[in-house]
């Protein structure tokens, strides 16, 4: 993505920069090493949890709410140390999440009752189920098979939450959960979610930058809960990791999203708000949820209004469940709706104009209309870090140069065109295509060199992340990739390569008709993307490409020019024999270019993995230079090789 200023860019990437700082994560199976930074423990509120409301339904179907006073909860004493091993946490897969969420926006309170279905994906029976929530939330009740369960609550140091800590319940079972078996838990928890940058402040981040990065909170005008990796507002099971231990935190965020892919998700929402301040928009996992508002005029000022809504049952993709509720003004535009603060009612016009400007480009590649509308949600502070999930882009809608807005909206609208709203699009396909189209827009507006420079900016990080050889690790096949350097950077390169393998028209045709509902496994289905490409213009075997670049991770090619033999032929022409080699484990089709003072000749050649080929090219005039690759195929060392000829 392109963000809008050096300051905003610094804030949006601060966590990634901080990940390079040296510190170690907590591991429940052993004592923390001496150098592990000790964080101040959150106040022991777990034994003083407050049930904010209880519900009952009368014979007429009317729901009533009763407030309950705060009381001690001896069923959940605080444990001195975690009792769960990381292996057990990794064995838990949540297959169904049914949430009943109540927000009391004025007091920043959240109360949730959740039906959580878990599966044991490990090889050993599990005697207990680990479930975690933010340390700002308290467990109130846990039931298994209709019976209340008592269990200790451990505080884990984990930067998956903005407080830097999680509350983990180790739910004991009367019978261990067998491998492959599922179990439903009925849990209730509550607490206050206010803005917190504790995890960033603990490692020395300037307060201003930390607050603009960790902006999740509950409030009257704006509630933003981005989920695991920002604020853990729903039950999870994860390995505790902290910022600074290399990429472990970001890998755990990716693993969490991957484990949730395919999970059935439902949410029922109730929002209590001060009289006269109803929310105007609610978004669950990036999708709009219609609200019913009950706020009759003339009510006692102390009586809150209530907004209710519910999301349809959906299947999660590669995403962390998110919840947004806000008071904003809608502004419809081309394939989008922008929800703004009053001070941005005028500047939003430049965003709407940008959407209008890039729509023909989107239609050329992705079809006449998007599969779902894009939502632009105005963030509370102009310096808050932008964030996106699916067809939701949360960003400050202030005025920006048109060229920047065009590039941003090409990317954001691509997610709306590729999403269906019911079936998730594979992340490599959605994010890779969006990044690819963003680079094509740069090519269209600024030239090919700028587009290739945009790609090259991520190649070195990709080369470092890739295994040196398949024997050094399985890498991250795109279908199961958890790191952005794979599902964004490498995937964008994949689309650039497919552009030349299938042609612009063939690739665009396949993109327009690709049906994610029939392609959850990118390798299968009669409408698989590979078959669509072959039928839409490629008319050639692409099995080798999908095998090396999508279905498996064979690393990057490592190309070189071995020998060049120019020979003069008749009429001033020269026949140039070029031998090239590939020391990598992924095959690649790349251009070989021969230049003279007056002419240029280019041909694309397929260089097999761990192999070499010789290609002959005819050029007018004495050859002066040979080039291998043009920057569209990523390599381990460089993506353009030039050899000057004497």
DSSP string, 55-69: EEE-TTS-EEEE---
- Same domain, yes or no: 321 and 287: yes
Write b or e for each residue in 558-580: b if 16 or more Cβ atoms lie within 10 A of its Cβ, otherwise e: bbbbeebebeeeeeebbebebeb
Provide the pLDDT confidence category of residue 470 given band limits of 50, 70 and 90: confident
The reply to whether 577 and 538 lie within a common domain is: no
Per-residue pLDDT of 197-248, as tens digits, reads 999 999 899 999 999 999 999 999 999 999 999 999 999 999 999 998 888 9
**Same domain membership, residue 596 and residue 545:** no
Q: How far apart are CA 390 and CA 381, in angstroms?
A: 22
Q: Own/partner pairs for 502-508, CB < 8 Å, 24+ apart?
A: 502/533, 502/536, 502/537, 502/538, 502/542, 503/537, 503/538, 505/536, 505/537, 506/533, 506/536, 506/537, 506/538, 507/533, 507/536, 507/537, 508/364, 508/365, 508/366
Report yes or no on 113 lying in a domain. Answer: yes
Shared-domain flag, residues 505 and 622: no
The stretch 395-404 carries a mean pLDDT of 93
pLDDT attached to residue 302: 67
433 shares a domain with 319: no
Is residue 576 included in any domain, yes or no?
yes
Residue 72: is its pLDDT beyond 70? no
Which phi and psi angles does 390 have, rounded to 5°? 55, -125
Among the listed residues 341, 87, 382, the one whose alpha carbon sits nearest the alpha carbon of residue 221: 341
**Cα 486 off chain centre by:** 12
Long-range contacts of range 480-485, CB-CB < 8 Å, 24 or more positions apart? 480/258, 481/254, 481/427, 481/428, 482/251, 482/254, 482/255, 482/257, 482/258, 483/247, 483/250, 483/251, 483/254, 484/431, 485/458, 485/461
pLDDT attached to residue 53 = 39
Identify the pLDDT of residue 419. 82
645: number of Cβ within 10 Å: 14
Q: Spell out the residues 6+ positions from residue 489 whose beta carbon is closer than 8 angstroms to its own.
A: 435, 455, 458, 459, 461, 462
| Residue 535's pLDDT band (cuts 50, 70, 90) | confident
CATH classification of the domain holding 624: 2.60.40.10
User: Residue 166 is part of a domain; what is its CATH number?
Assistant: 2.60.40.1730
Rounded to 5 degrees, what angle do the CA atoms 548, 554, 560 make?
Answer: 90
Mean pLDDT across the stretch 101-109?
96
Averaged over 408-433, what is the pLDDT? 88
Q: Determine, yes or no, domain membership for 629.
A: yes
The answer on 575 and 545 residing in a single domain is no
Domain presence at residue 225: yes
Helix (H/G/I), strand (E/B), else coil: 635: coil
- The residue among 327, 350, 365 that closes a domain is 327
E-assigned strand segments in 262-368: 264-273, 281-284, 287-288, 292-294, 305-310, 314-315, 323-326, 329-333, 336-340
Return the exposure string of 519-534: e unless at least 16 CB atoms fall within 10 Å of the residue's CB, then b: bbebeeeebbbbebbb
* Whether residues 518 and 462 fall in one domain: yes
Task: Please report which confidence band the pLDDT of residue 646 belongs to, taking 50, 70 and 90 as the band edges.
Answer: confident
The residue among 594, 603, 592, 596 whose CA lies nearest residue 572 is 596
Among 305, 327, 349, which residue terminates a domain?
327
210-248 burial by CB neighbour count: b if 16+ within 10 A, else e?
bbbbbbbbbbbebbbbbbbbbbbbbbbbbbbbbbbbebb
* Closest residue by Cα to residue 420 from 384, 356, 367: 367
pLDDT of residue 275: 86
**For 483-501, how does the pLDDT look when each residue is reduced to its tens digit (9 = 90+)?**
999 999 999 999 999 999 9
Let me know if residue 26 belongs to a domain.
yes
Domains: count for the chain: 3
pLDDT at 58 over 70: no
pLDDT at 517 over 60: no
The answer to whether the beta carbons of residues 307 and 276 sit under 8 Å apart is no
Provide the mean pLDDT of the chain: 86
The pLDDT value recorded for residue 516 is 54
Residue 36 lies in a domain: no
User: Under 8 Å CB-to-CB from 375, ≥6 apart: which residues?
Assistant: 283, 286, 288, 336, 337, 339, 391, 392, 393
CATH number at residue 446: 1.10.390.10
pLDDT of 136: 97
Residue 100 lies in a domain: yes
pLDDT at residue number 187: 98
pLDDT given at position 211? 92
pLDDT surpasses 60 at 129: yes
Nearest CA to 512 out of 335, 370, 408 is that of: 370
How far is CA 184 from its chain centroid? 27
How far apart, in whole angstroms, are the C-alpha atoms of residue 639 and residue 558?
A: 9
Q: In terms of domains, do 515 and 575 share one?
A: no
H helix count then E strand count, the chain: 14, 30
Same domain, 533 and 593: no
The rounded distance, in Å, linking the Cα atoms of 260 and 311 is: 17
Q: What does the pLDDT read at residue 73?
A: 74
**Do 147 and 119 have their domain in common?**
yes
Tell me the pLDDT tens digit for each residue of 554-591. Answer: 999 999 999 999 999 988 999 999 999 999 999 999 99
- Report if residue 404 sits inside a domain: no
3-state SS, residue 560: strand
Q: 512 and 612: one domain? A: no
Q: How confident is the model at residue 45 (pLDDT cuts 50, 70, 90)?
A: very low
504 and 638 together in one domain: no
112 forms beta bridges with: 101, 189
Decide if 519 contacts 546 (C-beta within 8 A). no
| C-alpha 383 chain-centroid distance | 21
The residue from 525, 549, 573 where one domain ends is 549
Full residue range of the structural domain in which residue 201 is found: 6-30+44-327
C-alpha span between 485 and 458 (Å, rounded): 7
Question: What is the pTM assigned to this prediction?
Answer: 0.87
Of the pLDDT bands very low, low, confident and very high (cuts 50, 70, 90), residue 110 is very high
Q: Which residues contact 5 (CB under 8 A, 6 or more apart)?
A: none
Q: Find the mean pLDDT for residues 490-517.
A: 90
**pLDDT at position 603 over 60:** yes
pLDDT at 160 over 90: yes
Taking residues 260-280, report their average pLDDT.
Answer: 94
């Amino acid at each position: 993505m392109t963000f809008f200023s050096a300051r905003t860019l610094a804030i949006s990437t601060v966590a990634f920069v901080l990940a390079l700082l040296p510190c170690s994560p907590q591991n429940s199976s052993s004592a923390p090493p001496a150098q592990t930074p000790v964080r101040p423990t959150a106040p022991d509120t777990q034994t003083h949890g407050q049930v904010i409301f209880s519900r009952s339904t009368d014979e007429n179907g009317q729901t009533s709410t009763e407030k309950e006073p705060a009381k001690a909860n001896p069923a959940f004493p605080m444990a001195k140390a975690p009792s769960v091993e990381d292996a057990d946490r990794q064995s838990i897969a949540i297959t169904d999440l049914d949430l009943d969420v109540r927000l009391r926006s004025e007091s920043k309170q959240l109360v949730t009752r959740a039906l959580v279905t878990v599966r044991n994906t490990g090889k050993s029976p599990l005697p207990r189920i680990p479930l975690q929530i933010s340390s700002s939330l308290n467990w109130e009740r846990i039931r298994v098979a209709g019976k209340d369960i008592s269990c200790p609550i451990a505080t884990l140091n984990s930067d998956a939450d903005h407080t830097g800590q999680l509350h983990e319940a180790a739910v004991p079972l009367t019978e261990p959960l067998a491998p492959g078996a599922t179990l439903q838990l009925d849990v209730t928890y509550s607490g206050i979610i206010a803005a917190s940058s504790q995890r960033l402040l603990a490692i020395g981040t300037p307060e201003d930058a930390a607050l603009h990065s960790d902006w999740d909170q509950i409030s009257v005008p704006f509630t933003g809960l981005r989920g695991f990796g920002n604020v853990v507002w729903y039950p999870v099971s994860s390995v505790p990791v902290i910022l600074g231990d290399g990429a472990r935190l970001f890998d755990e965020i990716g693993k969490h999203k991957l484990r949730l892919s395919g999970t059935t998700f439902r949410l029922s929402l109730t929002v209590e708000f001060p009289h006269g301040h109803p929310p105007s928009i609610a978004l669950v996992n990036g999708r709009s949820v219609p609200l019913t508002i009950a706020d009759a005029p003339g009510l006692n000022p102390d009586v809150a209004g209530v907004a209710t809504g519910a999301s349809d049952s959906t299947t999660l993709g590669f995403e962390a469940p998110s919840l947004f509720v806000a008071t904003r003004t809608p502004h419809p535009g081309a394939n989008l709706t922008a929800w703004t603060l009053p001070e941005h009612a005028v500047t939003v016009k430049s965003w709407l104009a940008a959407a209008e400007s890039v729509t023909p480009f989107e239609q050329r590649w992705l079809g006449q209309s998007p599969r779902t509308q894009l939502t632009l949600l105005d963030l509370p502070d102009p310096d808050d870090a932008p964030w996106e999930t699916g067809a939701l882009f949360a960003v400050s809608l202030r005025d920006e140069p048109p060229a920047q807005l065009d590039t941003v909206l090409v990317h954001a609208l691509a997610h709306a065109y590729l999403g269906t709203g019911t079936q998730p699009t594979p992340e490599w396909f959605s994010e890779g295509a969006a990044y690819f189209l963003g680079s094509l827009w740069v090519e269209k507006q600024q030239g090919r060199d700028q587009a290739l420079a945009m790609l090259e900016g991520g190649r070195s990080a990709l080369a470092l992340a890739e295994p040196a050889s398949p024997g050094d690790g399985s890498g991250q096949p795109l279908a199961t990739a958890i790191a952005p350097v794979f599902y964004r950077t490498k995937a964008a390169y994949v689309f650039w390569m497919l552009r030349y393998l299938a042609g612009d028209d063939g690739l665009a045709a396949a993109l327009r008709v690709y049906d994610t509902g029939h392609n959850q496994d990118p390798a299968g289905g009669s409408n698989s993307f590979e078959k669509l490409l072959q039928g839409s213009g490629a008319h050639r075997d692409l099995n080798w490409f999908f095998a090396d670049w999508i279905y498996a991770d064979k690393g990057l090619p490592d190309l070189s020019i071995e020998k060049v033999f120019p020979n003069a032929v008749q009429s001033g022409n020269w026949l140039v024999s070029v031998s090239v080699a590939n020391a990598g484990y992924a095959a690649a089709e790349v251009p070989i270019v021969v230049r003279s003072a007056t002419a240029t000749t280019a041909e694309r050649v397929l260089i097999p993995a761990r192999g070499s080929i010789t290609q002959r090219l005819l050029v007018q005039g004495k050859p002066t230079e040979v080039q291998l690759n043009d920057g569209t195929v990523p390599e381990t060392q460089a993506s353009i090789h030039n050899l000057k000829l004497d």
